[in-house]
Structure 1
């Protein structure tokens, strides 16, 4: 339960929240794209925090997505890297609406 609360707090308190793993190539691609867009994003590396596995379980329960990256913009679940890359054209507007740039 604590993991779900922590995940929700991260989502609620950050315009862009990315649940990631440090070694994941899709996570790296997501971070690169958000960086190129000038996004102020909060990244949590689930493989580097003690409760990472529990947070990943909580995210799966919340979003029905187990994989990383698990991306939220303006408290809305975007999906993974391919979903984010597919929204490249709308991304500047999404980030502006979330006040993440």
Structure 2
């Protein structure tokens, strides 16, 4: 367990993650070419979605703040990726990161290559 995970778990002490949440998240990641875990009020999420809109790339959005098990999903994503904040982006099942990662990939003309795979 990384120091960040330890501090987060010590400070926050999240509920244990259910097997159902884990299965749901893994299935969602595997089933979508571009998946964005988001929150409806997040400006960084809106910026990330705008990048994909500009590219004409379809994507699936899971708005964690509108789901009953949204916190459990977010906690599982943290355990899986080490990233707690949204947006949390996956392309072809691979964790890419957040908005700054997407913006950087776009700027370096690498995002389109990821999407072609």
TM-score by length of 1: 0.93
Aligned length in residues:
97
Where structure 1 has 5 or more consecutive residues not aligned to the other structure, the ranges are: none
> Does 2:68 correspond to 1:22?
no
The secondary structure found in structure 1 opposite 2:57 is coil
- What is the TM-score when the length of structure 2 is the normalising length? 0.80
1:1-101 mapped onto 2 (5 Å cutoff) = 1-88=19-106, 89-97=109-117
Deviation of 1:26 after TM superposition, in Å, equals: 0.3
CA shift, 1:58, in A, is 0.5
Richer in helix (by share): 2
Q: Quick one: higher RCO (CA 8 Å, sep 6+), 1 or 2? A: 1
Q: Which sections of structure 2, spanning at least 5 residues, go unmatched?
A: 1-18
After TM superposition, the runs of 4+ consecutive aligned structure 1 residues lying more than 3 A away are none
- Root-mean-square deviation over aligned CA pairs: 0.7
